[in-house]
Structure 1
Amino acid sequence: MKTALTSRVRTAGVLTALFLAAGPAAVGSAPTPVPARSTSAWLPYWGSDAAYADALQHASQLHTVSPFWYEATSASTVNGYPGAGDRRMVDGLHAKGIKVVPTVIETLDAKAMAELLGDPARRTAHTDALVDIAESSTYDGLDLDYERMAETDDEQLRERVRVGYNALTAELCTRLHARNRQCVVTVMPHTLLDGHAYDYAQLGKVTDRLRIMGYNLHNALGKPGPLSSVAWYEEFLGYATGVVPREKLEVALPAYGWDWTVGSTGRAKHVTSREAEALRQDRKADYLFDTASGTPHFSYTDGGKRHEVWYQDANGTAAHLAVMKKYGVRNSGLWALGFENPGVWDVLAAQ
């Protein structure tokens, strides 16, 4: 964050010097161009009012909001979560110049999805159901966030999912584009060990935006550690920028964390970045920053048990945006509205 702020101060100084040098003639010249909006964010259906207010507050930085509203449960069934299609929100976001591209997730596992995607008739029925959702309101497109289908160690099954998903997205994107709507696909990071159910190169050809989830390096069921790291960003961005045009790539940044009970085999507790910082202050825990990963963390004791909390804030976001800049990826996303440390918006504005 310090580096980002220093850059902004230097830039301000240069602009001031240029203005003074130009003298009175500069007055009345062409206005300074408004920076292009470069951030998208998800709007969770739980806590949606707070998330919606957050979107309106930072509308000048947001080009797209993806309400987390829909769930595919079969080839022909896509159900809405509570509040899905809220016209007040859709219209309110549009009034601020923000595109509304709702997210659809899937509940089917790898085997079920491989069978669905491998059957042309069922795949088309699924595409029909998705197009119906896109046309059910004044939406600007759809975001497919199909993750469960990727959770398999069976290489043959994973390849069937990969090939079938290529066919689905090609068909869906063609039909959405014919309706002047965007086609967005969200994927897991592609590394040596993960993300191989997604064909980045093919998805990069047919989609308008390929969103990479830059989080959950350490998850709720694993050992304590950072949600993301500089080295991890280096790995997946190195791959992604080699096969997908940079202008189509977007990296979604975390605005949450996990609270692990050390030594427990149970699931870690989810905390938003705001909740994590409030907890740290309440427990009077030292703020620690892991420079290797670019992630804040702290520990505390409750009921005789030690807890470790790793989360993300403005300092860590700045560290990861620096890696994105290195690879020429300017588009960022945020999971999720209402979760974030407020200072994150200043860092995003300076990217």
Structure 2
Amino acid sequence: MILLILSINFFGLMPENVFAVNNEVMPGPDVYLSDQKVVFDDVKPKLINDRTFLPFRKVAELTDTEVEWKGEERKVEAVKDELKLVMEIDNPNVILNRQEKLLDEDEHARIIDDRTMVPLRFFAESFNMNVEYEDGIVYLSPIADEKVGVEGEVYGFYALGGSWNELFGEDYPELGENHRLDTYDTIGVGWYELDKEGNLVTDGNYGFSRPGGYERVLEYAFDEEYNLAVEMMVFKMETKDKDLSSIILSEEKRKEAAKQIILEAENYSGVNLDLEGLGFFSDEDEVTEVQNKFTAFVEEIKEGLDEEKSLTITLHPPNSVYSDAYDFEQLGKLADQVVIMAYDYNEINTPGASAPYPKVKEAVEKSVELIDNDKIILGVRTPAVKYSNVINEKVEDENDINLEETEDREIVKELKEDDEISWRIRHIFLDSVYDLVDEKKEEIDGFDVLWDEDSKVNYVRWEEDGIENYIYYKTDESLNYKLDLIGDYNLKGLAIWRIGLVPEVIYDELDDFFKR
């Protein structure tokens, strides 16, 4: 272990004539890295009120930290792994890992002899260095990384193409060394939809279809080495014609759908019901009836499944405009787990994040009031949301308005007739956003990644051909705010929409956050 050794005056352990009082700057201690004395080229260590200050670039060198001097702002930014520290000259308020912290009055960064100096103890401890004092010597040593992690499950949606390579780490039908089978506890395979009559189909209108060779997915997933649970995901979205509500309100269609789902579930670990927008186009009286009949539908499926089969329900969050027809409390009692899709909060007419942190937190708080927290899985959507201004542009096809751009399909969110359209909204691959940001940084002077402090999300903004564009997207920083909610509220875990669209930076965060 590397030791950084500093001989300093501490608690009277050095001669009185090196003490600094009343903010007087005195010569500081010698510094040792292992058994070698550190050579300072020009500015030597300083002692101010018994605190040791070093030039910030030398501290960075000794602690293996990347630093940057923001001259116009008079700030030092230091980064190491996931840790970030921002210190402003002569300001005791610092920002450590997005949180403000108030230092002692004489502990702030300062300019001495035209050089930026930082407090050694605070800086070192901020970056996981252990500080011990013995016989007037300061011993600094790195704290060994210990992965603590949160107990929780990761649920992945496997659907709509492109999922094989990411999950199995190789082209179909091979299993590669860099597979992601160890990341997930359960996958929901999006191979089924309900048609208008309530029949279970494997070639539906929204692209939720069962691919050829699907058996190989089950073979690898069920292998005892990985032992993944695999649920059959059943999808249907409400339309203006109220196709989904019509199934639920018809006893004949409802029972036939339940019967077919129960029968097909024999091939899987369980069922995931993802029936979205239920009752969105219904009036208040009909919504109540739809809610009751849907609960009965879920109860019938639950009773018909074998005891060892799991039942997951994927729901809009309680604070969503799409949630009125779902009885969260009763559904939570029937389900083994509930995925809360805490996203799609973005406005049609105002650029903004799909999953702003205050809304996601509110969704979690409302959910735990209605459902046992150990059944709740927080849903995260990886695609970014892009807004392009179309105030002066005629939009001829409503299907252009809100779609998820992938290589193989488009999903369209239905809009009510009275919705005004001033922005074209697309959900796009996260990897493609990272590439676009890099391109724009080269093309546009001053182009930079911005941070929406209210939403806790990164975004970029630029104009092109007279069109104003915004993209709000996930980074490791924004994801961490969502992950913290899982630990804070003791939720069951995280669900990811969807496998095939998850960049490595997201997987790295999951590996660090969850115990595996």
TM range (shorter): 0.7 to 0.9
Structure 2 CA distance for partners of 1:281 and 1:38, relative to 1, 3 Å: same
So what's the TM-score if we normalise by structure 1?
0.84
Match of 1:234 among 361, 369, 373: 361
1:169 aligns with 2:326: no
Give the match for residue 190 of structure 2: 68
Distance of 1:89 and 1:189 partners within structure 2: 30
Alignment of 1:251-270 (within 5 A): 251-264=378-391, 265=422, 267-270=424-427
* Shift in alpha-carbon separation, 1:348–1:48, aligned structure 2, 3 A: closer
Alpha-carbon distance in structure 1 between the residues aligned to 2:353 and 2:432:
17
Question: Which letter maps to 2:201?
Answer: N
Offset from partner CA, 1:166-205 (integer Å, 9 cap, x none)? 0000110121243x21111100010175512111110111
- Give, as a single letter, the amino acid of the residue that structure 2 aligns with 1:281: D
Look up the SS of the partner of 1:162 in the other structure: helix
What is the CA distance between 1:277 and its match in structure 2? Answer: 1.2
Among 152, 155, 164, the alignment partner of 1:40 is 155
Residue identity opposite 1:241 in structure 2:
V
- CA RMSD in angstroms comes to 3.0
Is 1:187 matched up with 2:302? no
With over 3 angstroms needed to count, the CA separation of the structure-2 counterparts of 1:153 and 1:112, relative to structure 1, is closer
Question: Cα distance, 1:113 vs. partner?
Answer: 3.5
Which structure exhibits the higher relative contact order, with contacts defined as CA atoms closer than 8 Å and separated by 6 or more residues? 1
Distance 1:282 1:206 in 2: 49
TM-superposed CA distance for 1:121, in Å, is 3.3
- Verify: 1:204 aligned to 2:332, yes or no: yes
Equivalent position amino acid for 1:38 in 2 = E
Counterpart code for 1:276? V
Could you say which structure has the higher strand fraction? 2
Q: Could you tell me which residue of structure 2 aligns to residue 306 of structure 1?
A: 468
Identity %: 18
Alpha-carbon distance in 2 for matches of 1:164, 1:214: 24
Contact persistence 1:147–1:188 (CA under 8 A): yes
**1:286 partner amino acid:** D
Rg larger for: 2
**What is residue 19 of structure 1 aligned with on the other side?**
none
Aligned to 1:26: none
Q: Deviations over 1:25-58 (max 9, x none)?
A: xxxxxxx999856111111222233343369723
Change (3 A) 1:231 1:49: same
The CA distance in 2 between the partners of 1:84 and 1:144, in whole Å, is 23
The one-character-per-residue Cα deviations of 1:257-283 (angstroms, maximum 9, x if unpaired) are 122112443532221211111111111
Task: Specify the alignment match of 2:490 in structure 1.
Answer: 328
Alignment gaps of 5+ in structure 2: 1-81, 84-96, 99-124, 130-141, 170-174, 203-208, 392-421, 442-446
Letter matched to residue 375 of structure 2 = K
- Hey, what's the Cα distance between the residues in 1 that align with 2:159 and 2:277? 18
1:338 aligns with 2:484: no
Distance 2:165 2:236 in 1: 25
Work out which of the residue numbers 80, 104, 107 in structure 1 matches 2:234. 104
* Matching of residue 276 in structure 1 with residue 276 in structure 2: no
Distance change in 2, residues 1:85/1:166 (3 Å): farther
Q: Which range moved further: 38-47 or 201-210?
A: 38-47
Secondary structure in structure 1 of the residue aligned to 2:271: strand
Distance 1:132 1:75 in 2: 17
> Could you say what secondary structure the match of 2:324 adopts?
coil
Q: Higher helix share goes to which structure? A: 1
Structure 1: distance between partners of 2:128 and 2:497: 29
Q: Cα gap change, 1:97/1:209 in structure 2, threshold over 3 Å: closer, same or farther?
A: same
Amino acid across the alignment from 1:103 = M
Closer, same or farther: CA 8–128 of 1 in aligned 2, 3 Å: farther
User: Which of residues 114, 128, 133 in structure 1 aligns to 2:264?
Assistant: 133
Report the 3-state secondary structure (helix = DSSP H, G, I; strand = E; otherwise coil) of the residue aligned with 1:292.
coil
In the alignment, is residue 148 of structure 1 matched against residue 299 of structure 2? no
Q: Does structure 1 conserve the Cα–Cα contact (< 8 Å) formed by 2:199 and 2:256?
A: no
Separation in 1, partners of 2:294, 2:333:
13
Note if contact 1:43-1:51 (Cα within 8 Å) is conserved in structure 2. Answer: no
| Gapped regions of structure 1 (runs ≥ 5) | 17-31
Contact 1:52 1:89 survives alignment (8 Å): no
Q: Is the 1:71–1:106 Cα contact (8 Å) retained in structure 2?
A: yes
CA displacement, residues 144-165 of structure 1 (integer Å, 9 cap, x when unaligned): 1101324236222221221111
Could you tell me which residue of structure 1 aligns to residue 218 of structure 2? 90
